[in-house]
Amino acid sequence: MSAALLIDILLWGSVAGVGFIAWRRGRTVLVSSLREGSLEFANIMPRIAIGVVGSGYIAAVIPQEIITGWLRPDSGWLGVLTAVVAGAATPGGPVVGFSIGAVALKAGGGPPQVTAYVVAWALFAFQRVILWEIPFMPARFVWFRAAVSVPFPFLAAAIAMAIGKP
């Protein structure tokens, strides 16, 4: 059984389980949850489609020499540091961050470097810190959270280097 099939089964099983719980709580809860889920699905699907198509454009526009030059598998820790900085500087949500990571892998980027990019993007995306975290939490806490998170992209890259090519 492939990993993708297993993930699909787990996701659909989760949906069925939550749907069963909603059904047990009553028709009103079931109908309301179906309506809300359908509206959310209709709202998010165009964004995902645009992001996936856009990632194809990104793959075509970014010269492979840039990725293979900075994030190639033998770029070592300098490539990891570059990936961390690029991940922190990348704006946008998951469709953007993961799409750029996938493009980097397809273009010849090293798995440790791309792992560091994705982890840094998830932890430090600068625009998210400025636009979302600081307005909702005290700035001192946000900077503390960012500071204690600094080792994680490097740790993830080190583990990826130790494990080898996926």
Residues 59-84 have pLDDT tens digits of 677 777 777 778 888 888 999 999 99
Q: What pLDDT does residue 150 have?
A: 93
Cβ neighbour number for residue 30 with a 10 Å cutoff? 16
| Per-residue model confidence (pLDDT) at position 97 | 84
Domain that includes residue 54, residue range? 3-58
Among 23-37, 43-57, 72-86, where is mean pLDDT lowest?
43-57
Structure tokens given for 50: 């645009």
Q: Is the distance from CB of 90 to CB of 125 less than 8 angstroms?
A: yes
pLDDT at 3: 85
pLDDT band at 151 (very low <50, low <70, confident <90, very high): very high
**Phi-psi map region of 109: left, alpha, beta (phi>0 left; psi -120 to 50 alpha):** beta
Q: 95 near 55, Cβ under 8 Å? A: yes
Provide the domain count of the chain: 2
**Claim to verify: residue 52 and residue 69 sit in the same structural domain:** no
Asked if 103 and 45 sit in the same domain, the reply is: no
Question: Do 102 and 51 have their domain in common?
Answer: no
Q: Who's near 72: CB < 8 A, 6+ residues apart?
A: 79, 108, 109, 110, 113
Residues 79 and 102 in one domain: yes
Instruction: Please indicate, yes or no, whether residues 72 and 154 belong to a single structural domain of this protein.
Output: yes
Predicted confidence band of residue 92 (pLDDT cuts 50, 70, 90): confident
**Residue in the block written with tokens 């749907």:** 19
How far is 127 from 2, CA to CA, in rounded Å?
37
The answer to pTM > 0.95 is no
